[in-house]
Structures are given as structure tokens and as C-alpha cells.
Amino acid sequence: MRIVVTRRIPEAALVELRALGEVRVSTQDRPLEPDELRKAVAGAHAIVSMLHDRIDESVAEAAGPQLRIVANVAVGHDNIDVRTLTSRGIVVTNTPGVLTDATADLAFGLLLTLTRRIAEGDRLLRAGQPWSFHLGFMLGSGLQAKTLGIIGPGQIGRAMAKRAEAFGLHVVYSGRSEPKETLLRQADVVSLHCPLTPQTHHLIDAAALRIMKPTAVLINTTRGPVVDESALADALLTKQIAGAGLDVFEHEPDVEPRLLELDNVVLTPHLGSATVETRTQMALLAADNVTAVLTGKAPENPVRT
């Protein structure tokens, strides 16, 4: 068996994969270009992919008819043409569950950092600016008795709600069947946890931002294109909303330049699952899925079309 891993993963997962056969790990510490990816997967029985790898019919063709599984090391699978691969008899898997707490922790951390102006205060001190304590200095906003609106009440959304309730927030939800407009009007914090689909692309656009309270903040730890980043910058500059905490971006790794200049924005480079424990569990789960398929068993986490 030949297994292609498109970017470095924790050693524990590689040990499991090597028990199956030849493992080829990309030597490039960056996303592979489309031509590089197609060349890398030639002859693969399994591909262990990352969220930045676009796995489509051309990649399946390049791999060859023996390709049996694409194991995505992520919960989201918007980078994979699942329908086309499934029609070719290729199993697609993801890694849900194991990153729930880490991502919810990061989302709530963005919220606290934004509302209590933590990053802004850190920048002030590091810049050596003069300051002194007084009752009006760098006032933030408390969370108690405020309303958190969660768009996408899946595992991560519910974990975010659990943390919010401990801080005294009232939680409301919007899913596939509930209209988001009511939530946007009443929420003091809007936190995004829905997958990226054609229906959720630019779910938060200029019209949605106009509905939100001028005192509200937006948190996004799901996928960047769920938010129209240019419209968000406009809304922040014109004070349509009060702030934003973003871990994902519409055109990663690029960020809308205007967001970089604003103090009422907290930005992190896609760190939602970035703990040693979580990233190791994600890689091991992907390896488990590969092991199952290549040994004739059903994988734990198949992606359904």
C-alpha cells in the first residue's frame, strides 16, 4: 500500500500508517500547488489531506484507480469534491469530535480578548506608551446578562454555549431551519459555527451586518468565506458593529488589509484546533480511518454526500 501525506503530521499517526505500507510525506512545509499535489499522489491507495488541499476529480485521476480513501485532517470538508470522489468508489473521511473543546476554547478566548481589550492593552504596554490607572481607562464590556447568538448549533456551537452560560450569557441558536435575522437583531455576540457550503458562503454579508446591534461583536472560528470580509471591514470602520474576533479568513493566509489596522478586531492565524493534544488526536483519527479502509473495514468517520 502507498499512503501519501500532503503535509507533516504528528509522528504517532505516521507510525500507525507505516504499519500499512509505504508512507510518503511531503517535504514541502507549505500547501502544495495543484500540479505538485497531483504529482505527489500518483499511485496512492490513500491520501491524508489538509484543509488547504483541493481534492477534486483531477487529483483522483492523478492518483489512479487504486485510490481507496481520502482522509481529511479537519472537521470541514469543503476542500474536497465529496460527491465526485464517492461516485468513483473513494471513501472520504474527516476528524469530528476531537477538536470540539479546543475550538470552543479559542472562540471564547477571542470573545474575552475582544470585549476586555486584552490584546489592545498588551500592544499599549509593549509600545511603551504612558498610562496610569483611572476609572475610565480602557473600559471594555462585560458579558453577564448579554445574549450570545450561535449560528450552527453543532458540537462546537454547543460547546461554545456551555462556556458562555458559565459566564452568565443567555444563548440563542440559529440552524438550518431557523431564520438568522431574529438572532442577529437580538444578539450582543454572534458566534459562527456552521460549515462552509454554497448556502453559507457570505452568510454574514453587508445586509446581515446592518441587522446587528451597533454594540454587537462577531466571532468566526469556522471557515473564512462564511463572512464577507470586505463588508465586515466596512461595518467596523463605520461602527455598524462594535468589533470582531477572527481565527479564519476569506482568502487564507491573506487578511483584508483594513482589518489589520483596527483596534476593535482580534486576529489569530487559524488556531482553533492548535493544541498538541488536539492536533495529535486529529492525525490519529485520520490514520485510524485509513487503516480501517485499507484493511477492509468501515471507517469511523465517513463523510456522507
Catalytic residue among 2, 7, 45, 223: 223
Asked if residues 38 and 64 have their Cβ atoms less than 8 Å apart, the reply is no
Catalytic residue among 2, 193, 270, 279: 270
Cell numbers given for 25: 510525506
Which residues are CB-neighbours of 69 under 8 A, at least 6 positions away?
A: 45, 46, 47, 90, 91, 92, 93, 289, 290, 293, 294, 299
CA distance 121 to 266: 12
CA distance 120 to 297: 52
* DSSP letter (8 states) at residue 231: H
CA distance 103 to 118: 19
> Active-site residue 223, yes or no?
yes
> Active-site residue 252, yes or no?
yes
> Active-site residue 57, yes or no?
no
Candidates 139, 132, 136; CA nearest to 116 is 139
CA distance 296 to 145: 53
Helix, coil or strand: residue 292: helix
Catalytic residue among 8, 116, 252, 258: 252
Q: Where are the beta strands (DSSP E) in the chain?
A: 2-5, 22-25, 46-49, 69-72, 91-93, 147-151, 170-174, 189-192, 217-220, 243-246, 265-267
Catalytic residues: 223, 252, 270
